[in-house]
Chains A and B, each alone.
Chain A
Amino acid sequence: MQQLLQGEPCPDQAVNGLMPHLLHQLHAIQQQYRYIPTQQSKQVSETLQLPLAQIESVIDFYSFFTRTPRGQYTLLFSNCTSCGDLALMRELCQLLKVEQGITRTDGLVSIDETSCIGMCDHGASLLINDRVIAHLDSTRLKQIAEYIESKTPLDQWSPELFSINTQIYKKGLLLEQPLEQGSALTAAFKLGSDALIQTLKQSGLRGRGGAGFTTGMKWEFCRQAQGAQHYVVCNADEGEPGTFKDRILLTDHAHELFEGMTVAAYALGAQQGYLYLRGEYRYLVPHIQQVLTERRQQQLLGQNILGQQGFTFDIELVVGAGAYICGEESALLESLEQKRGVPRIRPPFPVTHGYLGQPTVVNNVETFVAAAHIVSKGANWFKAHGTEQSAGSKLLSISGDCTKAGIYEYAFGVTVQQVLDDCGASDAQAVQVGGPSGTLVHRKDFGRQLAFEDLATGGSIMIYGQQRDLLKVVRNFTHFFAHESCGFCTPCRVGTPLLRKYLDKIEAGHGTAYDREEMARLAKLVKKRSHCGLGQTAANPILDLLEHFPHVCEQRLLHQEYEPFFNLDAALETTRQLSHRDDAEAHLA
């Protein structure tokens, strides 16, 4: 399936088929000019009737937009611990004689890094002009370099480069038996909206994005809220490093997702829905549009759905542009409203004041799929699986040091050890459950369960074998959060770069016990005092490392009272560059 999709031409005409939206306009301009010229932002400002400052602030917020031209071939290497390998990026930089982040003087190519692109089951990966190449190695890099130097259009590259065969190793409740199209809607009409919401509540379904709010209650609050319009929004901004299960659902189960959204619309009385897709998954756009078209043709979307008089609902697709924070539901709504993705002040919550200030349900892809199954098959069918507080099943994206990386669906309550046994991870020293924002689990705790009441997870499971340097892993996560912080509140905007400085210093062997204590104090402040979930979880990797793996940090410390941050040799780097010197005498001892 994915192989097919990758072969299709990339949506150059991105705006065609997609609704008029600032992010879409800017993407189209970026494709045409390879950056956003000021003159163009002025035109967009006029076309969309938005203040120029809003356009400018959006360009500077989303990492896929630039103000200086990128290459005809724009390559972004994932820097995730599972689908990233920056040594390969440097190798390609050498092959193509280009510096990271600086477009080659002939304008042909630019290479940079980006946050996790959700290809963690496929080894080192990159995005090239919105398409994905996985399984990177030196041979592939040489092939890529040759294609680029010979200016071969992407469509003429070996299709094998773009092939992605995702393995589903374990099917459970949702993946085992696909839902017949329209069956959940028929069941929903039979139940009526009140009973439908009751069914969802009885099923015990909780949000699959990680926070775990009871879905039936969310729908009920939204239904009860007064508003001119109600909206259904699907959060497909799957940005947590190590997560790729929504990619599979969007690829192979898109009908069930849209059925779930349509059921929600029926329950809430909504007429409009939005699917907010992360920019890294732009290659899925033609497929998703195709499924939406099919559903319109089958009367599963549009007016009087399945002959239900007066029930009108449709779904638009909005594609993000590289911002992890937009996975936070209120930031996602801001982004839908063509603004920077800055999390809102809560209360009020989206169920009463969501998209355009109207009552809105925002749910994860997997939650909508599960809701469709539940409405069709009943609450008891679902509740019979999982634990008391965590009903049903969970899709896990498993990657890292194991032999069988891919998708696994388990009933909630499964132990970490069981998961490791199944995916062929025999020498794990630690597992990151729930991605960088989750929990770093020590080997001695592998008996713990995956469930909301124990180890909550949005689905990311990253495995680290004995050979891995955990300090490097935690440093990677800490850099990630500093890069993705929206910058709204002081604790996160200043705190995450400070944590990065402390950890870099310790990793480089310049940190003292005092630095470690200061880093821990700051980490607790960032966790407790930040505005939203990003800041509140950004320090988790550091705190977990210090608690469960104290020796990892300890053995890097200098045993002296104090060491300044200022590094005189590093400060001379600019001078070395200017004088084209890098010999021994240009360095301090």
Chain B
Amino acid sequence: MSSNITPITMPKFGLAMTEGKLASWSLPVGTEVSAGDELADIETSKITNGYESPAAGILRRQVIPEGETIPVGTLIGILADADVSDVEIDSFIKNFNDNFSSGETKDKASEETPRRIVEVDDLRISIQESGNGNEGTAVLLIHGFGGDVSNWMLTQSALSSSHHVIAFDLPGHGESTKQVGDGSPEGFAKTVESLIKILDLPNVHVIGHSLGGAIALELAKSSPELVKTLTLIAPAGLGQDINMNFINGFIEADRRKTLEPVLQYLVHDKNLISRQMVEGIIRYKRLDGVINGLKTIASASFPEGKQAVSLRSTLEKFDKPSQILWGEQDEILSAKDADGLPSTIAVTRYPDAGHMPQLEQAAAVNAIISSFIA
């Protein structure tokens, strides 16, 4: 009976998400949907994102109306075939909700974000671990300029089902120490190398985004034995140009009104930049030492408005599996920077994504990474 009923629940975008707002339903009741069709827009404290249907069926019920904020896991809608009766659906909803409310308090404790501080070469590095620590090679996620672990909110949980995944805040970012050393990708790579050793990992699948891509390449150059595979998402280090309106604007803008247009360079779908995301970055930038750190990084990595270091030859010479993922609408680093590389390096481009395909095309990016590191 109920095997033909699929519950649609409030998704969990990232480890820190505990509740979400059902901003809008994308389809009316009665629509036949396929897996992957966008069902609703979900707004969280970090991001607004489309929620794709996990299965096929007819959208029979919208249990939660638009505008309500509810805990992760709450039943929001029902997919079912046409032959399932309304009575069956009603009893399914009742059963689900009876069981859900009883389990709610238990879930809360187990969903605490697993953050901890690791002392690395006199720096305090905040890491966020997930997944099974005993299974295969771990995955290390390196964010870019001005980012933090939340850049991986749609990546980390997806990869955790099969791997031990470690995201961390670079020095000068998030909850890590705000000293950035010389601010160069090479300097950061040394910190990453120490982190990998302190965590006692023989080697890792490295995934680097933007400036984190350049850091991943520096790591591959200095300690190739630590890198099992290399996934570079819109990486720095392969070309010369960079959108300095983003870099300088990110450093200088100190109000929501001026920062929001700067952050919009990051994505193709400008609606992804939520009010809360802008507020979170303003709060980060107010922490002691952050602005100076960002200035140091910018002048070390992008002096005179150009990328200082070319790591093209490093990538060309690197003999482990390497791939590049890039949004064609990237407004910060051009996807053309991946042109002309040896054919051993797979390049995947996403027509409707900007600088952060791991957010804008999360499902596709997660799938390609999963099979690459399998």
Say whether A and B bind each other: no
Residues of A bordering B, CB below 8 Å: none
